Amino acid sequence: MMVASIQAPSGAALEFLVLFGVILFGPVVISRFGLPGLIGLLLGGFAIGPHGVGLIGAGDQVVPELGQLGLLYLMFIAGLELDLHMLQKQRNAAVLFGLAAFAIPLSAGLVIGWALGWSIASTVLLGALFSSHTLIVYPTLRDAGLGGNPAVASAVGATVLTDTLALVVLAVVAGTQTASARIGVVLVEITIGFAVLVGVSVLVLPRVVDAALRRWSGDRVARYLVVVVGLLAMAALAEVFGIEPIIGAFFAGIALNRLVPNEGQAMDRVEFFGSAVFVPVFVVSIGLLLDPSVMFRADTLELAGLICLGALGGKSIACWFVGAALGFDRPQRAAMFVLTAPQAAATLAVTLIGFEVGYHL
């Protein structure tokens, strides 16, 4: 009598098991050391990846593809969470600070890239990485009753302009490096693409989604899927014009900002699936790319120091001088820096796209 052979698990079931195991336990373990859960996801991705124990090999496409969806979702949420009422209230201050918070770190990136002898495209991409930021700290300040502070409102409103400009730079660099046409033709195509994205996000998408949400007002699943379809439609539309899909996702978030309010049930569902699945999968997929043999070399650590200095230094200069020009005191300027220093959503997007087009920053 033959006994059935017992084999080690493999395939999609094992990959999803280790993936969601990292998503569940990574933040829990790393939080014991007083570190953010994001670090646990990154380290967990490294641990199960090709440079770790190899449970997910270098040729695997399942997790990276899910990570791409997570990246789109991350940028979509970034657009949804922007406080457009705050932008309108502090319009002039937000525009002034937004331009400074973009231009000064961008300039720092250009100087560092030039000093390192990088190509023009790599240097500009580094500047775009410096100029973007994510409002991770805003909920904490809002809960502390500082949401209406003019300095906080200006920094929140400035994020719309700053991240949009950073993504525009990303679109131009990625488009000119991946397209076979001449640069002038690519720039015209990207310009037309941005015009179409703005037009659709202002005139078409909100009306279509609003009508669909009214049509399925009693179906929670259908209402959520309407929002996801709107996100993916804008991402696909961006690709038509050679623009990175994440930019379309960001525009979709801004377009649906008023239809999916931060305190509403729809936003709860969007954030639930984002925080439970899509965004963690994206962060784990970034962890799969970590290679200690490269990360801990002397030249890599030196470059990391320059990047931190350029990004944080550029933001601090913008906050200090523009804050002073706007009449904000030192604590208010410090609050502006705390809001604009974190680098997460747009910065991770710029870094990943740079990696994919061949610029391993």
Q: Return per-residue pLDDT of the chain as tens, 361 residues.
A: 455 566 666 667 788 888 899 999 999 999 888 887 888 888 998 898 888 888 887 666 777 778 888 878 877 887 787 767 766 777 788 889 889 988 999 999 899 988 888 888 788 888 888 887 776 666 667 667 776 678 887 887 787 778 778 877 777 777 666 555 566 777 788 788 889 998 999 899 999 999 998 888 878 888 889 999 999 999 999 888 877 787 888 889 889 988 887 666 777 788 888 888 888 888 888 888 788 877 778 877 888 888 888 888 989 999 999 889 888 888 889 888 888 887 765 666 666 666 655 544 4
Neighbours of 268 (CB within 10 A): 11
The torsion angle over the Cα atoms of residues 109, 111, 116 and 117, rounded to 10 degrees, is: 110
Neighbours of 190 (CB within 10 A): 22
Instruction: Report phi then psi at 329, rounded to 5.
Output: -80, 180
41 within 8 A of 279, measured Cβ to Cβ:
no
Per-residue confidence (pLDDT) for residue 361, from 0 to 100: 43
Per-residue confidence (pLDDT) for residue 23, from 0 to 100: 92
Per-residue confidence (pLDDT) for residue 360, from 0 to 100: 46
User: What is the rounded distance in angstroms from the CA atom of residue 112 to the CA atom of residue 131?
Assistant: 13
Tokens read off for 149:
């502070």
User: What is the rounded distance in angstroms from the CA atom of residue 24 to the CA atom of residue 40?
Assistant: 10
List Cβ neighbours of 251 (8 Å cut-off, separation of 6 or more): 79, 197, 198, 200, 201, 234, 238
List Cβ neighbours of 63 (8 Å cut-off, separation of 6 or more): 15, 19, 56, 281, 284, 285, 288
Relative orientation angle of helices 245-255 and 205-215, to the nearest 10 degrees: 60
With vertex at residue 137, the alpha carbon angle to CA 100 and CA 331, rounded to the nearest 5 degrees, is: 65
CA-based radius of gyration for the chain: 21
Among 168, 169, 162, which Cα is nearest to 104's?
162
DSSP 326: T
Tokens read off for 310:
């350029």
Sequence letter at residue 275 = S
With vertex at residue 149, the alpha carbon angle to CA 148 and CA 152, rounded to the nearest 5 degrees, is: 100
User: What is the rounded distance in angstroms from the CA atom of residue 74 to the CA atom of residue 274?
Assistant: 7
> How deeply is 313 buried, as exposed, middle or buried, from its count of CB atoms within 10 A (0-12, 13-18, 19+)?
middle
Per-residue confidence (pLDDT) for residue 24, from 0 to 100: 92
243 within 8 A of 194, measured Cβ to Cβ:
yes
List Cβ neighbours of 144 (8 Å cut-off, separation of 6 or more): none
Name the CATH architecture for the domain at 62-356. Answer: Up-down Bundle (1.20)
DSSP 203: I
137 within 8 A of 343, measured Cβ to Cβ:
no
Tokens read off for 337:
């820096």
What ranges do the domains of the chain cover?
A: 62-356
* Per-residue pLDDT tens over the stretch 87-111: 677 778 888 988 998 899 999 989 9
Among 103, 55, 8, which Cα is nearest to 321's?
103
What is 44-101 written as a DSSP string? Answer: HHHHHSTTTT-SS-TT--HHHHHHHHHHHHHHHHHHHHS-HHHHHHTHHHHHHHHHHH
74 within 8 A of 349, measured Cβ to Cβ:
yes
